[in-house]
Structure 1
Amino acid sequence: MPKPVRLFAALALAAGLIAAGHSSASAAGGTFQQVTGFGSNPGNLAMYSYAPAGLPAGAPLVVALHGCAQTATDYYDDSGWPKYADLYGFAVVFPQTDAANNSLSCFNWFDSTKDTRGNGEAASVVQMVAKAEALYGSDSHRVFVTGLSAGGGLTADLLADYPDMFAGGAVDSGLPAQCATTETAASGCQYGSQNLTPAQWGDKVRASDPGYTGPWPRVAIWQGTADTTVQPVNGTELRDQWTNTWGIGQTPSSTASLPGGTTLTSYDDASGNPAVQLYSINGMGHGLAVDPGSATNQCGTTGAYFLSAICSSYYTAQFWGLAGGTTGTGLPAPTGLTVSGTTATSVSLTWQPVSGASSYDVYRDGTQANASPVTGTTYTDSGLAAGTSHSYTVAAVDASGNVGTQSAAVTATTSGGYTPSCYTTDNYDQTVAGRAFQSGGLTYATGSGQAMGLWNVFTVHTLEETAPGYYVVADSGCPA
């Protein structure tokens, strides 16, 4: 078939051909509905939204973009975002495209007339944000955007186009911002490395809104290691792009193992808060990671390209600091939350003090961990299982007991878990063994996506498996 048709077909499969017939539904206390009259709508999109009943003014806002051949209703039903809107207190906008814009209802992440600042679909999404802020009284400083596949590509573009609007984003099985500016170039982004330096990737962000100097959005990147539609190297390129934009380098500040064979690498800003996080899911193909269940850290419905692994929406919400909900008193989120130590059964945390705080609450995996008020800026969470990972946030509490906004999340893993293994051989054998993958004649470590050079039997590297299915280059010594 012609190249454009192949491209759209691949993206349609990537986003999931969800069966027709979904209907709008009410979650716990709120209603999913279409919103009209949100602006001139140059991108010809439809706007849908969900807000919990009784949502007060000043709550956050999330924009969630579906993939090809999907609808806003599909994403509402299966992604898990309504659960956390109810739990944490925020509104969600679900933009929708259709076949009139793209033959397979893909967002046009590769078209510079539609995905750049002030133009087309990007401008329509911005108009939806303004409409939602007016409808729900949303906090304009806590607007976030996330998307799957083609929706993930447009998410990255929006973060680059409007860093003044979005406080954070999450790109799920998506592409770097402005990776392609034409339809014919899009498949090259999907299937191979663009061989750009981090600075060149960062320049694409900086050029999207010339003159803007920050603060930059905090970016979560979700990528399956077995994705053959949007190759895993895209996760690495997204990491390179946004760490360079932040000016923080590509060396992880921390690495942790999460459920579903997921390895999290975090890249902290100058204050010690995660600015960029890469979630690499071992063995997962192309889709949105979900984990059906009733636990706080479980969400979503499995189906075509809604893949059972880990609840990506939960961890993204934690990363953005949404778990603070709308109970805030004006006390800001604590900064500098850091894992100061771990044992087989405990995690120790520290953070910076907040003016006006009389105590602090610490949250583990979305649930309060401290049984009594924490009056200092340190806390040790004990009684944990060995080799387990947990996400932590902290919130300031005033003298009346009112809880402020929760901090950005950090992840910690107790000791006694996975034992690293080391493998030294040529790039060809590393690839055959599944410890690496090749793209465009070059080799990359599975999980971390680190470059290893040419795919041949002459180039030799040592790889360390730091978590199940996650490998890093360890030529200088293994285990590190």
Structure 2
Amino acid sequence: MHTRPSDHNDIKAMKNHLCSIEKNFTWECPHPKQPPTMLSLPAALLLAATLTTAQTLSSTLTHIPSFGPNPRNVSMHIYVPANLPPNPPILVSPHWCHGTAQQVFEYRPWAALGDTYGFISIYPNTSNFADQCWDVSSKESLTHDGGGDALGIVSMVRWALEKYAADPDRVFVTGTSSGAMMTNVLLGSYPDVFAAGSAWAGVPFGCFAGPGFDVWSESCATGKIIKTGAEWASIVHAAYPGYTGFRPKIQTLHGTKDDVLFPQNLVEQVKQWTAVLGVSEVPSSVAVDTPLKGWTRRRYGDKVEAYEAEGVDHNIPNLEDVVMEFFDLKCRGKGCFSRRS
């Protein structure tokens, strides 16, 4: 949880609240030896498959000590499949609050999927040891090449692009909670780097903006920051003044019972990104019970995709196939989704 610059008792209470929501809400405050507990059988089966395949990976997670401009001392960990194809895509996966790069590597199947489909996965680790949340508040992170955690992560991408001759038009980012917030930040501050993002239980770009590198915004978290699409878009455009190039598409998912980052933040993200990407706030298609019973998918053209998960709290189960499909990461060769599409 991000530190609020006010009442220390409030900070402690919020942290206790964050770590006690549901007895199985362990991925936010995990035991070092305990894998994250999911809420549904499909998610549990996915986790079991992940832990099984993790034993047969073709390579190992590697720490890269130096990779370029890194003002906040974010650490880089990378998984490169042994049989890497030419011009591979890159997937960045920032961790949740109280999480680590190692935990994302172990409890998300990106490395195994990278082995199968031929992409590199990058696992950043924040230097904020107080709560291990990402800097999504500072002017530095909210500005293109301005600094903050965001620049450190982008430096990892730039390093990997050069080192492995990876595809600069197929760089993707996905995360949960604080990782979802960073996903929004990276799409807003670095539209020239990313092709798409998938944010699970996050907030709009700039919603947590404040005077510091780790600021908690109770107003944003509780869904009280409400703006028009145009107002939200202006915040994104201010991150990279004068930029007129490609803008990454976004997938955002949220539970209706989320009382850490309230579900109004899903609405605000849709308003923000439909405005930024120039599509209508009225969905072009609606699919109920997709991909799970009680989930509703709304698409806004082919640039914005939003999932509302009925009855789900902040412990939203990650459904990797949904992300893989949106990023088109199972595709190889010509005709795959990219910044050139």
Q: With the length of structure 1 as denominator, give the TM-score of the two structures.
A: 0.59
User: CA shift at 1:314, angstroms?
Assistant: 1.5
Counterpart AA for 1:259: P
Of 109, 132, 136 in structure 2, the residue corresponding to residue 80 of structure 1 is 109
Corresponding residue for residue 41 of structure 1: 70
> RMSD value over aligned CA atoms?
2.4
Corresponding residue for residue 111 of structure 1: 138
User: CA shift at 1:113, angstroms?
Assistant: 3.5
TM-aligned CA distance change 1:217 to 1:132, over 3 Å = same
**Contact 1:221–1:278, Cα closer than 8 Å, also in 2:** yes
**Contact 2:226–2:268, Cα closer than 8 Å, also in 1:** no
SS of residue paired to 2:330 = helix
**Contact 1:107–1:154, Cα closer than 8 Å, also in 2:** yes
Corresponding residue for residue 259 of structure 1: 291
SS of residue paired to 1:322 = coil
User: CA shift at 1:104, angstroms?
Assistant: 0.9
TM-aligned CA distance change 1:185 to 1:105, over 3 Å = closer
CA distance in 1, matches of 2:225, 2:242: 26
Q: Map residues 159-178 of structure 1 onto 2, 5 A cutoff.
A: 159-178=187-206
Of 94, 107, 122 in structure 2, the residue corresponding to residue 93 of structure 1 is 122
TM-aligned CA distance change 1:210 to 1:7, over 3 Å = farther
CA distance in 2, matches of 1:37, 1:126: 13
Of 6, 16, 19 in structure 1, the residue corresponding to residue 28 of structure 2 is 16
TM-aligned CA distance change 1:45 to 1:10, over 3 Å = farther
1:200 to 2:231 alignment: yes
TM-aligned CA distance change 1:114 to 1:215, over 3 Å = closer
Q: Map residues 148-227 of structure 1 onto 2, 5 A cutoff.
A: 148-182=176-210, 186-227=217-258
**Contact 1:4–1:184, Cα closer than 8 Å, also in 2:** no
**Contact 2:208–2:216, Cα closer than 8 Å, also in 1:** yes
Counterpart AA for 1:43: R
**Residues 191-232 of structure 1, C-alpha deviations (whole Å, 9 max, x = no match):** 123121111111111111111123210100011111111111
SS of residue paired to 1:289 = coil
**Contact 1:117–1:162, Cα closer than 8 Å, also in 2:** yes
Q: Map residues 268-279 of structure 1 onto 2, 5 A cutoff.
A: 268=301, 274-279=302-307
TM-aligned CA distance change 1:231 to 1:131, over 3 Å = same
**Residues 261-288 of structure 1, C-alpha deviations (whole Å, 9 max, x = no match):** 22111011xxxxx100001112111134
**Residues 136-162 of structure 1, C-alpha deviations (whole Å, 9 max, x = no match):** 221011101111111111111111000
Counterpart AA for 1:263: T
Bigger RCO of structures 1 and 2 (CA < 8 A, at least 6 apart): 2
Corresponding residue for residue 437 of structure 1: none
CA distance in 2, matches of 1:255, 1:277: 10
Unaligned ranges ≥5, structure 1: 269-273, 291-310, 334-404, 409-480
User: CA shift at 1:110, angstroms?
Assistant: 2.0
User: CA shift at 1:94, angstroms?
Assistant: 0.4
Corresponding residue for residue 375 of structure 1: none
CA distance in 2, matches of 1:193, 1:165: 31
**Residues 69-124 of structure 1, C-alpha deviations (whole Å, 9 max, x = no match):** 111111112122223212321010000114xx251111121232444322121110
More strand by share: 1
**Contact 2:184–2:199, Cα closer than 8 Å, also in 1:** yes
Corresponding residue for residue 4 of structure 2: none
Of 320, 327, 336 in structure 1, the residue corresponding to residue 327 of structure 2 is 320
**Contact 1:11–1:150, Cα closer than 8 Å, also in 2:** no
TM-aligned CA distance change 1:6 to 1:57, over 3 Å = farther
CA distance in 2, matches of 1:39, 1:283: 43
Counterpart AA for 2:153: V
Of 259, 262, 276 in structure 2, the residue corresponding to residue 231 of structure 1 is 262
CA distance in 2, matches of 1:407, 1:112: 29
SS of residue paired to 2:157 = helix
Counterpart AA for 1:193: K
More helix by share: 2
Corresponding residue for residue 92 of structure 2: 63
TM-aligned CA distance change 1:46 to 1:8, over 3 Å = farther
TM-aligned CA distance change 1:97 to 1:407, over 3 Å = closer
**Residues 12-36 of structure 1, C-alpha deviations (whole Å, 9 max, x = no match):** 6685112214799654323222122
TM-aligned CA distance change 1:222 to 1:128, over 3 Å = same
**Contact 1:22–1:73, Cα closer than 8 Å, also in 2:** no
CA distance in 1, matches of 2:19, 2:273: 26
Of 154, 169, 183 in structure 2, the residue corresponding to residue 126 of structure 1 is 154
Counterpart AA for 2:106: D
**Contact 1:239–1:278, Cα closer than 8 Å, also in 2:** yes
User: CA shift at 1:249, angstroms?
Assistant: 1.4
**Residues 382-416 of structure 1, C-alpha deviations (whole Å, 9 max, x = no match):** xxxxxxxxxxxxxxxxxxxxxxx3699xxxxxxxx
SS of residue paired to 1:255 = strand
